[in-house]
């Protein structure tokens, strides 16, 4: 079927030296994991905001994740949060995911919600609490083995709120000691991703406040431990794309959580506030991806709880925003950019990036989706499908598993 808008864009891109077939091939291989917790009821520290049709348990979350993949074509796995997604039959859950056309992705332990973790988990002064947290992570490693997951994704709320509350150096050693035990239990081809956050809920100090401490911790553990970047976990004004480039060059960037830090956490959809920042981040990711001398194995994941937007729609919108950012980054004239950088031509280098960012890549993405057998407008197709109306009627009452 002829697509005049795509044909005009393809002609323009080819004049710029873009290999259009190569770009389309890469777009078809894009991989964005969605989170199970993005499909259930959620809210803020002040309360939970229930939504019609919100998934109540792991099977329903898998159904929503599979729906997102059905309309986008690039979200074949879903991250699980334990115990929010806990089941007595992990083999059965794995098979149900496969029946839906998706797989189980990263396993995320929860060592922050229980009352026992009020003063921390693996940095707690009480060795019994550290043992409890470590055992939970080891349980998650066993879940990885059953479900086929190769990623253990770790975030800790550990920190202190008052001067003198904790011994910084002891806490640092306790963390590494506990993580070493979990690291040693990982399956052969699995990785441990260590996330960081500069504040909240601890405000005097946080035990993993930045990418530097996460990097040092991962380095102490070994090659299977890497850093996980979350856009929402940085102070305003942080140059995330620089962190991306630095960690890639060190071989320590293992994963990426996409959201928006305007909220100071994970509750805004990626690209909703500063899409140019998202493009610049992807520009660095693509630069490494296209470099034959650079090895990358980066897990791209969304981490959003969608407490106001409709669950599945927000996930589709986020995936589409990531497709747009990736497409723009792929059409950057890399040779011209390198030449401008080598010549110290600041304006030229900036304009090369700006030209790619300002390009309307929607016709390209529509063509890619058509060639993948998908609707060119995923959100519109989903709204017409009747899925939301169906699950809103089916998911009434019953106990809701998870944070809510």
pLDDT at 66: 98
Pairing label, strands 42-44, 47-49: antiparallel
Give the side-chain half-sphere CA count within 13 A for 77: 20
Instruction: Give the CA distances from residue 288 to residues 52, 236, 302, in Å, rounded to whole numbers and listed in that order.
Output: 42, 25, 20
Residue ranges with strand state E in 77-130: 77-82, 103-109
Q: Which two tokens stand for residue 69?
A: 């993949």
Among 300, 363, 302, smallest CA distance to 331 is for 363
pLDDT at 271: 93
pLDDT at 209: 97
pLDDT at 264: 67
Instruction: Give the CA distances from residue 213 to residues 154, 183, 265, 268, 284, in Å, rounded to whole numbers and listed in that order.
Output: 14, 17, 19, 26, 22
Among 358, 359, 333, smallest CA distance to 348 is for 333
CA atoms of 35 and 325, how far apart (whole Å): 20
Number of H helices, E strands in the chain: 15, 12
Beta bridge partners of 300: 256
Taking only the tens of pLDDT, the chain with its 404 residues reads 568 999 999 999 999 999 999 999 999 999 999 999 999 988 777 788 889 999 999 999 999 999 999 999 999 999 999 999 999 999 999 999 999 999 999 999 999 999 999 999 999 999 999 999 999 999 999 999 999 999 999 999 999 999 999 999 999 999 999 999 999 999 999 999 999 999 888 999 999 999 999 999 999 999 999 999 999 999 988 999 999 999 999 999 999 999 988 876 667 899 999 999 999 999 999 999 999 999 999 999 999 988 889 999 999 999 999 999 999 999 999 999 999 999 999 999 999 999 999 999 999 999 999 999 999 999 999 999 999 999 999 999 877 777 65
Contacts of 325 (CB under 8 A, 6+ apart): 271, 275, 278, 279, 281, 282
pLDDT at 249: 97
332 burial (CB, 10 Å; 0-12 / 13-18 / 19+) is buried
Domains, the chain: 30-333 (3.20.20.150)
Q: What angle do CA 269, 274, 277 make, to 5 degrees?
A: 110
Instruction: Give the CA distances from residue 209 to residues 95, 110, 157, 212, 345, in Å, rounded to whole numbers and listed in that order.
Output: 38, 18, 10, 8, 36
Q: Which two tokens stand for residue 154?
A: 């770790």
CA atoms of 247 and 228, how far apart (whole Å): 10
CA atoms of 286 and 291, how far apart (whole Å): 8
**DSSP 8-state class, residue 117:** G
Beta bridge partners of 47: 44
Instruction: Yes or no: say if 198 and 209 are a contact pair by the CB < 8 Å rule.
Output: yes
| Intra-chain end-to-end CA distance of the chain, in Å | 46
Count of beta carbons in the 10 Å neighbourhood of residue 126: 11
């Amino acid at each position: 079927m002829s697509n005049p808008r795509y044909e005009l864009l393809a002609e323009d891109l080819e004049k710029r030296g873009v290999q259009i077939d190569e770009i389309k091939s890469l777009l078809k291989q894009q991989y964005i994991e969605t989170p199970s917790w993005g499909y259930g009821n959620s809210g803020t520290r002040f309360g939970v905001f229930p939504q019609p049709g919100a998934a109540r348990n792991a099977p329903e979350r898998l159904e929503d994740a599979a729906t997102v993949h059905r309309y986008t074509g690039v979200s074949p796995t879903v991250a699980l949060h334990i115990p929010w997604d806990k089941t007595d039959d992990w083999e059965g859950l794995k098979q149900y995911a496969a029946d839906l056309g998706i797989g189980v992705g990263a396993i995320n332990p929860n060592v922050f919600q229980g009352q026992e973790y009020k003063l921390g988990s693996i940095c707690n002064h009480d060795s019994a609490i550290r043992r409890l947290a470590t055992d939970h992570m080891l349980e998650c490693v066993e879940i990885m083995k059953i479900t086929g997951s190769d990623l253990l994704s770790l975030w800790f709320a550990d920190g202190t709120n008052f001067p003198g509350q904790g011994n910084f150096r002891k806490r640092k050693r306790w963390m590494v000691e506990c993580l070493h035990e979990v690291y040693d239990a990982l399956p052969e081809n699995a990785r441990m991703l260590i996330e960081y956050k500069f504040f909240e809920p601890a405000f005097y100090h946080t035990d993993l406040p930045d990418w530097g401490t996460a990097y040092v911790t991962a380095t102490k553990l070994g090659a299977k431990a890497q850093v996980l970047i979350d856009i929402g976990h940085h102070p305003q004004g942080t140059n995330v794309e620089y962190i991306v480039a630095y960690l890639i060059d060190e071989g320590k960037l293992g994963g990426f959580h996409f959201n928006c830090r305007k909220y100071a956490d994970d509750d805004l959809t990626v690209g909703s506030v500063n899409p140019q920042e998202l493009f610049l981040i992807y520009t660095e990711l693509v630069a490494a991806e296209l470099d034959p001398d650079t090895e990358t194995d980066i897990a791209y994941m969304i981490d959003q709880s969608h407490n106001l937007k409709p669950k599945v729609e927000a996930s589709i919108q986020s995936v589409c925003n990531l497709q747009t950012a990736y497409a723009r980054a792929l059409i950057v004239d890399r040779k011209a950019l390198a030449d401008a950088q080598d010549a110290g031509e600041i304006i030229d280098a900036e304009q090369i990036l700006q030209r790619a960012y300002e390009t309307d890549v929607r016709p390209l993405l529509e063509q890619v989706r058509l060639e993948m057998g998908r609707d060119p407008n995923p959100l519109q197709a989903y709204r017409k499908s009747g899925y939301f109306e169906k699950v809103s009627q089916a998911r009434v009452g019953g106990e809701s598993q998870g944070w809510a």
